[in-house]
């Protein structure tokens, strides 16, 4: 109990039991007809009643002495309880035996002191809690206050009127007035403190409020009886007084700090003020039948009016909070539901007793969204997501939900669905995405991967269902099959995938990536003028892997930036070694779009060159045309920056991408083009390919761009290129890509 030493726990328990016994026995003696006489009974009204007050005073005293929590508050509360108890004991032992009984007496001082001490205790408790007071809370408090005042005045005014009629001394009238005034003040302060707890106070505050009401009733009646000489000891009123006084220290020992929060009574915000507003209304109705003091009527009217204003404000607040609720559950970008709404509906579908548990969870992920986004730029990437969300939401049936879970991932909850109907809907979702999207005035085709998990067979809680739908989606993505329903085997597949990603990173970081070099030949002067660095994975088990066999995996795992940097560092290092041997070659490195859009990339390139002391103009970066398609501004900025430092930027695979001649005109910083091998390799057999190459060479010559023909596979092609005035050639005819130590510089050997 309350973290007390066991010895003290026993003492408190014994005192509590003793007090309970005293209250019950005393209360029994006050039941009408139990006693033979209405006069003071020394055993019951003397020993028993006083014993009860003494026991409860000891309990009250021990609370702040033994317990640190809220000690200051309890010093005051206990002081109040002790004052009231002592006042009773003194009254029973001394005052009541005096003839005539003095009024006011020392006991009145004790009884009145209780109110003061309790008021100070409440203020101490509430002081730190008044942080934010909403208008509604203040109006609630006013409703309660007006209602209490109206009821209290309605009861007390007639009593006072009666007393003043019997001619009593000033000190007695002052004491008479002090009781109701302090009673009401204490009630108001308690209500204020409860308000400070946002109507969710510790239980002892509710008990104290109830006890204060009891004090008000008991004291007013005692007052009346004393003044009119109708007082009798040992009535039900005495029991009520003892009980009300005892409940306060009892509640202190019953609930400690941690259990206070656990046992806090949560009453819906509007209940209390509504109840008091009803009291006020009730009093107004009562006043139409029976004479009630005008002040009470005004106060009751005020209480009811404030309650009406409060209700109007409440409606507004409810409307606003409904709007906030909607906003909090909507995705800002696409205006479909967000992850929070999705999770809520999923939990509802799973746990609501009225809903069918047969439903499907779908995870929809756009394939290659990252590179689409990088290529388009974020603004157009967002536009695409909005359009996708719009199409997906049109497929949904009423009652089903589509939500954006984050990035390019959407989730759907399909009610009353089995695996077959879920697949039908997944098919429809796929179909809705099939029509190309018009973004930046061009048509963009996308595909998506959809994973399906069915409740309850694939999972019985939200985490499991989502995880399984996610796994199925990954399966659909990695096998490029579009739609996949969850199977337990997917766990294994996912494990393999994760392991392969881990393996790939390890391969890059631990030097399993090797660089092969393919010479670039100046076919006009017949000499090796440069080399393209081409990556190979020297796999310990699978042998030498070409880029086509592992680059897509690298891209998917987001490891492209790491790979490019590794290749670049190695290639630049090799260039340094060649420079030291007196061989001056340009080195060409392939880049992915992601590299160029990374704002830190130019700096990383310059740093790698500087570290090896390789001149910037010895480096060519090869980019594909896709970059210019959608985000020309970013592409232009990055290329300008690299070119301003003397680095050459070449367009790779020219003729295969989204070729537009526009960028050739705009991008004055371009060093040149590499005509794609698909044209060059066919020059000897395909006249049209030959014509394309020829015109491209002319175009480059007149734009002052360097032109490299890649895919020169035989002498005939080489000869044609020489005749066409092509400056540089690269291809198997001269050399296949080789390791640095087998790289040939001598044209005669090539």
- The footprint of Mg ion (CB under 5 A) covers 590, 622, 652-653
Which residues are CB-neighbours of 587 under 8 A, at least 6 positions away?
A: 530, 531, 533, 571, 572, 574, 575, 618, 619, 620
- Report in angstroms how near the CB of residue 676 gets to Mg ion at its nearest: 6
Residue 306 binds ligand C2E, judged by CB under 6 A: no
- Which part of the chain contacts ligand C2E (CB under 6 A), choosing from 177-185, 211-219, 328-336, 710-718? 710-718
Find, among 515, 532, 555, 520, the residue nearest to 741 by Cα: 515
Our CB check for ligand C2E shows the closer of 564 and 696 to be 564
Find, among 431, 426, 421, the residue nearest to 469 by Cα: 426
Render the burial of 459-483: b for 16+ CB within 10 Å, e for the rest. Answer: beebeebbbbbbbbbbbbbbeeebb
Query: Which residues 406-465 are close enough to bind ligand C2E by CB under 6 A?
Result: none
Residue 534 binds ligand C2E, judged by CB under 6 A: yes
Query: Which residues 600-639 are close enough to bind ligand C2E by CB under 6 A?
Result: 622
Our CB check for ligand C2E shows the closer of 52 and 711 to be 711
Q: H-helix or E-strand containing 307?
A: helix 294-328
Q: Whose structure tokens read 């202190």?
A: 252
- Report in angstroms how near the CB of residue 525 gets to Mg ion at its nearest: 22
Residue 2 binds ligand C2E, judged by CB under 6 A: no
**Partner from ligand C2E, Mg ion, none binding residue 732, C-beta < 5-8 Å depending on class:** ligand C2E
Instruction: Report the distance separating Cα 565 and Cα 412, nearest Å.
Output: 40
Residue 592 binds ligand C2E, judged by CB under 6 A: yes
Instruction: Report the distance separating Cα 582 and Cα 591, nearest Å.
Output: 27
Inter-axis angle of helices 560-580 and 547-556, nearest 10:
130
**Partner from ligand C2E, Mg ion, none binding residue 592, C-beta < 5-8 Å depending on class:** ligand C2E
Find, among 98, 76, 96, the residue nearest to 88 by Cα: 96
Residue 64 binds ligand C2E, judged by CB under 6 A: no
Instruction: For CA atoms 596, 598, 602, 605, give the dihedral sign.
Output: negative
Is the distance from CB of 371 to CB of 594 less than 8 angstroms? yes
Instruction: Report the distance separating Cα 644 and Cα 648, nearest Å.
Output: 9
Residue 720 binds ligand C2E, judged by CB under 6 A: no
With CB under 6 A as the contact rule, the residue among 16, 373, 590, 690 that binds ligand C2E is: 590
- Which part of the chain contacts ligand C2E (CB under 6 A), choosing from 5-13, 53-61, 318-326, 542-550? 542-550
- Report in angstroms how near the CB of residue 532 gets to Mg ion at its nearest: 6
Our CB check for ligand C2E shows the closer of 482 and 547 to be 547
Q: H-helix or E-strand containing 335?
A: none
- Which part of the chain contacts ligand C2E (CB under 6 A), choosing from 179-187, 407-415, 494-502, 711-719? 711-719
Our CB check for ligand C2E shows the closer of 490 and 536 to be 536
With CB under 6 A as the contact rule, the residue among 462, 632, 711, 729 that binds ligand C2E is: 711
Alpha-carbon torsion angle 116, 120, 123, 127, nearest 10 = 160
With CB under 6 A as the contact rule, the residue among 306, 567, 605, 705 that binds ligand C2E is: 567
Retrieve residue 105's tokens. 């007496």
User: What DSSP string describes 691-743?
Assistant: HHHHHHHHHHHHHT-EEEEE---SHHHHHHHHHHT--EEESTTT---B-GGG-
Residue 656 binds ligand C2E, judged by CB under 6 A: no
Instruction: Report the distance separating Cα 210 and Cα 244, nearest Å.
Output: 8
- Which part of the chain contacts ligand C2E (CB under 6 A), choosing from 202-210, 398-406, 543-551, 721-729? 543-551
Residue 732 binds ligand C2E, judged by CB under 6 A: yes
* Count of residues that interact with ligand C2E, criterion CB under 6 A: 24
Instruction: Report the distance separating Cα 408 and Cα 381, nearest Å.
Output: 9
- Report in angstroms how near the CB of residue 320 gets to ligand C2E at its nearest: 53
With CB under 6 A as the contact rule, the residue among 269, 282, 482, 547 that binds ligand C2E is: 547
With CB under 6 A as the contact rule, the residue among 272, 293, 731, 740 that binds ligand C2E is: 731
Q: Is 235 helix (H, G, I), strand (E, B) or coil?
A: coil
Residue 518 binds ligand C2E, judged by CB under 6 A: yes
The CA R_g of the chain, rounded to the nearest whole Å, is: 45
- Report in angstroms how near the CB of residue 726 gets to Mg ion at its nearest: 15
Our CB check for ligand C2E shows the closer of 143 and 720 to be 720
Instruction: Report the distance separating Cα 76 and Cα 83, nearest Å.
Output: 10
Our CB check for Mg ion shows the closer of 62 and 635 to be 635
- Report in angstroms how near the CB of residue 731 gets to ligand C2E at its nearest: 3
Our CB check for ligand C2E shows the closer of 476 and 588 to be 588
Secondary structure letter of residue 225 according to DSSP: H
Please give the residue ranges that form the binding site for ligand C2E (CB under 6 A): 518, 534-535, 546-548, 551, 564, 567, 590-592, 622, 652-653, 677, 681, 710-713, 731-732, 737
């Amino acid at each position: 109990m309350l973290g007390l030493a066991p010895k003290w726990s026993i003492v408190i328990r014994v005192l509590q039991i003793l007090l309970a016994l005293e209250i019950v026995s005393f209360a029994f003696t006050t039941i009408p007809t139990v006693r033979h006489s209405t006069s003071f009974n020394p055993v019951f009204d003397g020993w028993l009643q006083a014993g009860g007050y003494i026991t409860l005073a000891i309990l009250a005293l021990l609370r702040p002495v033994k317990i640190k929590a809220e000690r200051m508050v309890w010093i005051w509360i206990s002081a109040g309880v002790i004052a009231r108890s002592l006042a009773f004991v003194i009254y029973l032992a001394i005052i009541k035996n005096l003839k005539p009984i003095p009024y006011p007496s020392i006991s009145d001082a004790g009884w009145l002191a209780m109110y003061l001490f309790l008021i100070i205790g409440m203020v101490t408790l509430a002081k730190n809690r008044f942080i934010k007071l909403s208008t509604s809370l203040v109006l609630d408090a006013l409703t309660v206050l007006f209602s209490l005042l109206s009821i209290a005045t309605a009861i007390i005014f007639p009593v006072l009127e009666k007393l003043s009629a019997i001619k009593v001394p000033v000190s007695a009238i002052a004491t008479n007035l002090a009781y109701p005034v302090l009673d009401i003040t204490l009630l108001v302060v308690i209500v204020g403190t409860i308000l400070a707890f946002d109507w969710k106070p510790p239980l002892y505050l509710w008990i104290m409020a109830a006890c204060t009401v009891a004090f008000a009733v008991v004291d007013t009646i005692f007052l009346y009886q004393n003044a009119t000489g109708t007082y009798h000891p040992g009535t039900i009123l005495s029991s009520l007084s003892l009980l009300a006084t005892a409940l306060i220290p009892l509640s202190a020992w019953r609930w400690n700090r941690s259990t206070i929060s656990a046992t806090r009574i949560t009453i819906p915000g509007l209940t209390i003020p509504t109840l008091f507003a009803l009291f006020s209304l009730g009093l107004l109705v009562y006043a139409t039948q029976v004479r009630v003091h005008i002040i009470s009527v005004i106060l009751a009217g005020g209480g009811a009016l404030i309650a009406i204003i409060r209700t109007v404000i409440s409606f507004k607040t409810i409307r606003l909070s409904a709007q906030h609720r909607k906003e909090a559950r909507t995705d800002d970008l696409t205006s479909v539901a967000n992850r929070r709404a999705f999770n809520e509906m999923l939990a509802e579908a799973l746990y609501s007793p009225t809903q069918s548990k047969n439903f499907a969870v779908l995870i929809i992920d756009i394939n290659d969204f990252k590179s689409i986004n990088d290529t388009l730029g974020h603004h157009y990437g967002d536009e695409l997501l909005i359009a996708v969300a719009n199409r997906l939401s049109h497929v949904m049936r009423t009652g089903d939900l589509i939500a954006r879970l984050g990035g390019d991932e959407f989730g759907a909850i399909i009610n009353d669905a089995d695996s077959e109907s879920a697949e039908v809907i997944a098919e429809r979702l796929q179909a809705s995405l099939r029509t190309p999207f018009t973004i930046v005035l061009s048509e963009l085709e996308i595909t998506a991967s959809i994973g399906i998990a069915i409740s309850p067979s694939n999972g019985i809680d939200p985490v499991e269902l989502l995880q399984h739908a996610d796994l199925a989606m990954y399966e659909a993505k990695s096998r490029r099959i579009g739609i996949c329903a969850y199977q337990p085997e997917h766990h294994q597949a996912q494990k393999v995938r994760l392991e392969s990603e881990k393996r790939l990173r390890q391969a890059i970081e631990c030097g399993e990536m090797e660089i092969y070099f393919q010479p670039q030949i100046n076919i006009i002067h017949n000499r090796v003028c440069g080399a393209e660095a081409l990556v190979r994975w020297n796999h310990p088990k699978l042998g030498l892997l070409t880029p086509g066999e592992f680059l897509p995996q690298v891209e998917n795992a987001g490891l492209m930036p790491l790979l490019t940097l590794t290749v670049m560092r190695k290639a630049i290092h090799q260039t340094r070694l060649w420079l030291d041997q007196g061989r001056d070659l340009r080195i060409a490195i392939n880049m992915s779009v992601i590299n160029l859009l990374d704002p830190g990339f130019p700096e990383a390139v310059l740093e790698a060159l500087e570290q090896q002391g390789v001149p910037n103009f010895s480096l060519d970066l090869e980019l594909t045309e896709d970059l210019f398609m959608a985000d020309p501004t970013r592409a232009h900025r990055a290329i300008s920056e690299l070119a301003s430092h003397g680095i050459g930027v070449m367009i790779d695979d020219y003729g295969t991408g989204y070729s537009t001649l526009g960028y050739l005109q705009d991008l004055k910083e371009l060093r040149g083009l590499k005509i794609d091998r698909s044209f060059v390799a066919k020059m000897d057999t395909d006249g049209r390919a030959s014509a394309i190459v020829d015109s491209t060479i002319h175009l480059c010559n007149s734009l002052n761009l360097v032109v490299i023909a890649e895919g020169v596979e035989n002498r005939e092609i080489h000869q044609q290129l020489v005749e066409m005035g092509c400056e540089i050639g690269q291809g198997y005819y001269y050399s296949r890509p080789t390791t640095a130590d087998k790289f040939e510089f001598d044209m005669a050997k090539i």
